[in-house]
């Protein structure tokens, strides 16, 4: 379908979703949040898509934040609805069941950093910058920033970034665990494409099981998480992909996974 604020394309089993509001540094307004929600739902339902790459148009920003011009006139009840819309999107990305890679090439601030943190892997240019500057607007993060930042980087980093509103460089974000791969700006596309291709060739049901085990099992006590893992491990033995993968290993050939 046609979107006003997004562009989508396919490269084999990899779908790329681009937030396309470069004149607004790809800021997230309500319409864009709704379009992203639909685009990710379509990717989830399309069996031909095994990996999603999310990025922003232009070189200045991945997503520079929520659309402050739209937010400025909100009453509390409207702000609550806006926050919940954003949080539902972030949760749908996190729970997509397919790997999602954030390609980060500029500012990832506020809602943009929250969007990146909802992705499973984050590949960033050395020129990228990150931050949760909501406090400078008299606000707190509203799309999950306090919670995912806490889980990814720890309490100290979450409090420091949210309380100071500081913008940090990509190297610092990498050191905090917010960036999974850090590359030179000119190598960003090559690095993202290589990672996406690697994941697209992997067993999709096993990938979904890993995502479930880490993201859902990781929110429970260790014993519960281990049981979650055991059930997922056993379930994998019911798949053709498991038989193909083990046979390919024994026969010293490359496996061809079908997702069944």
Question: Which positions are catalytic?
Answer: 114, 134
Does any domain span residue 260?
Answer: no
Residue 225 lies in domain? 203-250
Mean pLDDT, the chain cut into blocks of 10 residues (260 residues total)? 92 98 95 97 97 97 93 93 96 97 97 98 98 97 96 96 98 97 98 98 95 91 93 94 95 93
Whether residue 141 sits in one domain with residue 30: yes
CATH (domain of 154): 3.90.226.10
CATH (domain of 240): 1.10.12
Whether residue 143 sits in one domain with residue 31: yes
Total tally of structural domains belonging to the chain: 2
Does any domain span residue 96?
Answer: yes
Whether residue 137 sits in one domain with residue 43: yes
Does any domain span residue 255?
Answer: no
SS (H, E, C) the chain: CCCCCEEEEEECCEEEEEECCHHHCCCECHHHHHHHHHHHHHHHHCCCCCEEEEEECCCCEEECCECHHHHCCCCHHHHHHHHHHHHHHHHHHHCCCCCEEEEECCEEECHHHHHHHHCCEEEEECCCEEECHHHHHCCCCCCCHHHHHHHHHCHHHHHHHHHHCCEEEHHHHHHCCCCCEEECHHHHHHHHHHHHHHHHHCCHHHHHHHHHHHHCHHHCCHHHHHHHHHHHHHHHCCCHHHHHHHHHHHCCCCCCCCCC
pLDDT computed for residue 2 by the predictor: 84
Whether residue 83 sits in one domain with residue 39: yes
| Model pTM score | 0.95
The 10s digit of each residue's pLDDT in 76-116 is: 999 999 999 999 999 999 999 999 999 999 999 999 999 99
Whether residue 168 sits in one domain with residue 212: no
Does any domain span residue 79?
Answer: yes
């Amino acid at each position: 379908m046609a979107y006003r604020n997004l562009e989508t394309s396919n490269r084999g089993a990899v779908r790329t979703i681009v937030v396309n509001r470069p004149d607004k540094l790809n800021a997230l307004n309500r319409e864009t949040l709704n379009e992203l929600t639909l685009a990710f739902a379509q990717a989830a339902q399309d069996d031909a898509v095994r990996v999603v790459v999310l990025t922003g148009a232009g070189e200045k920003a991945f997503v520079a934040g929520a659309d402050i011009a739209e937010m400025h006139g909100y009453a509390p009840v409207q702000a609550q609805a806006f926050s919940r819309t954003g949080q539902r999107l972030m949760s749908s990305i996190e729970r997509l069941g397919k790997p999602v890679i954030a390609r980060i090439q500029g500012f990832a601030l506020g809602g943009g950093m929250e969007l990146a943190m909802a992705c499973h892997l984050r590949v960033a240019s050395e020129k990228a910058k990150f931050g949760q500057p909501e406090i400078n607007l008299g606000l707190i993060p509203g799309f999950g920033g306090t919670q995912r930042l806490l889980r990814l980087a720890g309490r100290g980093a979450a409090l420091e970034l949210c309380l100071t509103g500081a913008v940090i460089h990509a190297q610092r974000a990498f050191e905090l665990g917010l960036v999974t791969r850090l590359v030179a700006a000119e190598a960003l596309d090559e690095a993202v494409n290589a990672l996406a291709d690697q994941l697209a060739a992997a067993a999709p049901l096993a990938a979904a099981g890993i995502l479930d085990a880490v993201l859902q099992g990781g929110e429970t006590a260790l014993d519960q998480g281990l049981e979650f893992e055991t059930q997922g491990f056993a379930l994998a033995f019911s798949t053709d992909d498991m038989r193909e993968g083990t046979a390919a290993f024994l026969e010293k050939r490359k496996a061809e996974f079908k997702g069944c």
